[in-house]
Structure 1
Amino acid sequence: MTIGLVPVLILMFSQTSLISPVANAIAIPLICIVVVPLALLGSFLPVDWY
């Protein structure tokens, strides 16, 4: 997706980020492995736990 948006980014902003593929390669597995299971676990907790 990043590669597909590069022409649009260059057209609109006259620049592009070279670090975005690296950041996405780190962030996407982190979200899938850590954040989603924690969000699902949190959704099963009672609302009045405090």
Structure 2
Amino acid sequence: MEAMYLVFAVAALCCLGLLTPLLYAVLAAGGLLARLLYAIMTLIGRGAR
């Protein structure tokens, strides 16, 4: 029974290790997308004036 907990703990740690870079990549992509969208909005705003 204890071995099951150990396996589960190792699997959870491996998943976290794999998910952390993925989460970082998603956040970075989201930040870039938001910046790009903001730049487009400002350009459209300037063009409208």
Specify which structure has the bigger relative contact order, considering alpha-carbon pairs within 8 angstroms and separated by 6 or more residues: 1
Structure with larger Rg: 2
| Range of TM-score over shorter length | 0.3 to 0.5
Q: Indicate the structure with greater helix content.
A: 2
User: What is the TM-score of this pair, normalised by structure 1?
Assistant: 0.47
